[in-house]
Amino acid sequence: MPEVMLVALPAWQFAALLLAPLAILAAAAAGLRRLVRRRGAQHEDKDWSVPPLADAAGTTLFHRWDIRCKLLTLIAYSFLVASLSRVAPALAAVAVSILALVLARSSWARVLMRLLAITGFLAMFLVVMPLTAPAHPGDTVLVIGGVDWIGFNLRGLTKALAIVAKATAIALLMEPLLTTAPLPVTLHGLTKLGAPDMAGQMVLLSHRYLHVFRHEAERMAAGMRVRGFRKRTDLETLRAVANFLGMLFVRSFERTERVFDAMRARGYRGRFPAPAELRMEKADLALSFAWLAIGAALVVYDRLSG
């Protein structure tokens, strides 16, 4: 097809066919977000804003998989998925990820939180790309209600859908990758794979103090609310937020010194003790090979179907 195919659509048909599903998706996302938030408010102790990143010890395939094999395999697989370019293979990757979630018995609430976190960014692609992708020969462009300066390019829509599917597939894999072993063990595995020892230690320390400083920030925010501070769109709010930030930095830099002194007093010499003995068996390797074979098959499918 050498020509750009223009399909004229009355505005109401366009709305019904394309905008309605998008609107429903957006409403669903907003509703879920409200639901998750309200749930979070009910159970004070379960705070998903900083999840602990480690499930209770499970016995699923993912929990038993050697951490080095698991990290290497799933990260390499993620890159393979990210390199796909068509919708169908990307959807197949989503299916594989859902299978992984079921196998790993991941918490659906946390999976949902991860998906909600990426909806805003991905929605931008879904909305903007069809409207701005330049029309090439062979494209189908929907012209809405006779307005010809803006067209809805279906090639842009497929491209955006492929991106959404890829992002979803990889985001879904994060729960099986990260929460089927305690964070120290995961980081130990990473250092065994060649990451600098210090990098792992820094992640552990940051992760631990994140909770501390978040509590500190909440305490300070509560104090401000009690004194009648309400956030508005004005300069005074910005000044108050800036003072808040400044105070947070002052307190946390001071705390950092104390933490470091305490660590040294307890004999810290630049390393933490190893959290676990790692053992790799043939089954671990077999699972890795099988998983990577799936990834390779997806890439081959992606290239051939073009």
Q: What is the 3-state secondary structure (H, E, C) of the chain?
A: CCCCEEEEECHHHHHHHHHHHHHHHHHHHHHHHHHHHHHHHHCCCCCCCCCCCCCCCCCCHHHHCCHHHHHHHHHHHHHHHHCCCCHHHHHHHHHHHHHHHHHHCCCHHHHHHHHHHHHHHHHHHHHHHHHHCCCCCCCEEEEECCCCCCEEEHHHHHHHHHHHHHHHHHHHHHHHHHCCCCHHHHHHHHHHCCCCHHHHHHHHHHHHHHHHHHHHHHHHHHHHHHCCCCCCCCHHHHHHHHHHHHHHHHHHHHHHHHHHHHHHHCCCCCCCCCCCCCCCCHHHHHHHHHHHHHHHHHHHHHHHCC
Distance CA 275, CA 289 (A): 27
Return the residues of window 13-52 that contact other proteins according to CB under 8 A. 49-51
**For residues 59 and 134, which CB has a smaller minimum distance to other proteins in the complex?**
134
Contact between 150 and 144 (Cβ < 8 Å):
yes
Query: At its nearest, how many Å lie between other proteins and the CB of residue 283?
Result: 25
Query: At its nearest, how many Å lie between other proteins and the CB of residue 134?
Result: 6
Which amino acid, residue 1? M
Under the binding rule (CB under 8 A), the answer on residue 206 touching other proteins is yes
Under the binding rule (CB under 8 A), the answer on residue 217 touching other proteins is yes
**For residues 132 and 305, which CB has a smaller minimum distance to other proteins in the complex?**
132
Which amino acid, residue 148? D
**For residues 26 and 277, which CB has a smaller minimum distance to other proteins in the complex?**
26
Kindly tell me which residue out of 53, 109, 154, 297 binds other proteins, with binding defined by CB under 8 A: 53
CB count within 10 Å of CB 17 equals 12
Q: How many residues bind other proteins (CB under 8 A)?
A: 86
Return the residues of window 174-203 that contact other proteins according to CB under 8 A. 174, 178, 196, 198-199, 201-203
Return the residues of window 86-115 that contact other proteins according to CB under 8 A. 90, 113-115
Query: At its nearest, how many Å lie between other proteins and the CB of residue 83?
Result: 4
Query: At its nearest, how many Å lie between other proteins and the CB of residue 12?
Result: 25
Kindly tell me which residue out of 68, 191, 209, 294 binds other proteins, with binding defined by CB under 8 A: 209
Token pair 């007093």 in the structure block, residue: 265
Return the residues of window 142-171 that contact other proteins according to CB under 8 A. 155-156, 159, 162-167, 169-171
Structure tokens at 66: 């050697």
**For residues 195 and 282, which CB has a smaller minimum distance to other proteins in the complex?**
195
**For residues 69 and 173, which CB has a smaller minimum distance to other proteins in the complex?**
173
Kindly tell me which residue out of 129, 142, 144, 181 binds other proteins, with binding defined by CB under 8 A: 129
Q: Is 293 left (phi over 0), alpha (psi -120 to 50) or beta?
A: alpha
Return the residues of window 278-297 that contact other proteins according to CB under 8 A. none
Query: At its nearest, how many Å lie between other proteins and the CB of residue 191?
Result: 14
**For residues 13 and 256, which CB has a smaller minimum distance to other proteins in the complex?**
256
Query: At its nearest, how many Å lie between other proteins and the CB of residue 150?
Result: 11
Return the residues of window 234-273 that contact other proteins according to CB under 8 A. 235, 237-239, 241-250, 252-253, 255-257, 259-260, 263, 268, 270
**For residues 12 and 111, which CB has a smaller minimum distance to other proteins in the complex?**
111
Task: List the one residue out of 176, 132, 170 whose CA is nearest residue 151.
Answer: 132
Query: At its nearest, how many Å lie between other proteins and the CB of residue 281?
Result: 26
